[in-house]
Structure 1
Amino acid sequence: MIRQIDFEDVNLVHDLYDLQKASYLIEAELIRFFDIPALKESFQEFKKCGEIFFGYFEEGNLAGAVSYELVGVELNICRMVVHPSHFRKGIAKNLLIYLEESFPDIVSITVSTGRDNLPAKTLYLKNGFQFVRDIEVVPGLFISCFEKRRSIL
């Protein structure tokens, strides 16, 4: 089941924060960079991020989440996290589909991930995103940017 995360539910937000840490630790290992902002973010900073989150629940437990920001007819995926014990179950794909179906008037969806995060890059490419470019965000660390454009009838 997928539903919006209520940031008034402190226990659930703690679960989301812990899930994020576990997920981004795997990405940090893949890209060999451990200063990912989400790994350094305090719980208080996380609570104030301003992003909207949808959570994927399996047997009542939070297994994955996606966050986004809307700017007009453009949606930016800020975070896509899945708990490592739930990798390869289609959770991230289901979250992408849910997000797209929730916003039928969106013209563009953007997302980025570490250049060396091959599982994430594969996910986005398999789900209709196009590679846009790599950007060096700090010396030696590159992120890959993707976009999915949709025509609205």
Structure 2
Amino acid sequence: MRIDELSPDSSLGEELLTLQRAAYAVEAEIIGDDRIPPLHESLDELRSKPLRWLGAVDDDGRLAGAVAWAETAREVDVDRLVVHPGAHRRGVGRALVKEVMTRAGERPVAVSTGRANLPARTLYERLGFALRGEDEVIPGLWVVHYAFPG
């Protein structure tokens, strides 16, 4: 597996959107709620986000996962982490988040996920992220917020 910079404006845009929908469908199943905004994005909406992207490409040249973030001089905010359901438990998400952490340098890194998404929460906690709070973003849909360093 190699990690490459991605652009949703490239020919990988459709593959990235398909990956994102598959990954968020799994999260929707885990949390019992499909009102996750990226699950319903169009390709144009995906491309319009001012995010930086990295992709994990498997040995067959397929996109196994991707991470997108926004950054300022003071902070890095992981906006989304998506892993192909067939690549779960292979270290893809971990490798992508660790690469973002490396690129962040001394800046803190923030990330949020569904409160009931225990696999994602476990990943972030094992990487040293600390729980910073939770919010009900829309009625009945709760997210938790993490920060690194903790």
Q: What TM-score, normalized to structure 1?
A: 0.92
For 1:134 and 1:97, locate their aligned partners in 2 and report how far apart those are by CA, in whole Å.
Answer: 23
Deviation at 1:8, TM superposition (A): 3.7
Structure 1 residues 135 and 8, CA, compared in 2 at 3 Å: closer, same or farther? closer
For 2:94 and 2:40, locate their aligned partners in 1 and report how far apart those are by CA, in whole Å.
Answer: 26
For 2:97 and 2:40, locate their aligned partners in 1 and report how far apart those are by CA, in whole Å.
Answer: 25
For 2:52 and 2:18, locate their aligned partners in 1 and report how far apart those are by CA, in whole Å.
Answer: 17
Deviation at 1:14, TM superposition (A): 0.8
- The answer for the alignment partner of 1:103 in structure 2 is 104
Deviation at 1:103, TM superposition (A): 2.7
For 1:119 and 1:65, locate their aligned partners in 2 and report how far apart those are by CA, in whole Å.
Answer: 16
Which stretches in structure 1 are left out of the alignment for 5+ residues? Answer: none
- The answer for the alignment partner of 1:51 in structure 2 is 51
Over 4 Å off, 4+ runs: none
For 1:69 and 1:58, locate their aligned partners in 2 and report how far apart those are by CA, in whole Å.
Answer: 25
Residue deviations 1:79-122 (CA, integer Å, cap 9, x gap): 0000000000001111111112223232x100000000000000
Corresponding letter in the other structure for 1:22: A
Does residue 27 (structure 1) correspond to residue 27 (structure 2)? The answer is yes
For 2:143 and 2:48, locate their aligned partners in 1 and report how far apart those are by CA, in whole Å.
Answer: 24
Matched residue pairs, number?
A: 148
RMSD of aligned alpha carbons: 1.2
Deviation at 1:13, TM superposition (A): 1.1
Deviation at 1:128, TM superposition (A): 0.4
Which stretches in structure 2 are left out of the alignment for 5+ residues? Answer: none
Deviation at 1:73, TM superposition (A): 2.0
Q: What TM-score, normalized to structure 2?
A: 0.94
SS in 2 for 1:124: helix
- The answer for the alignment partner of 1:147 in structure 2 is 147
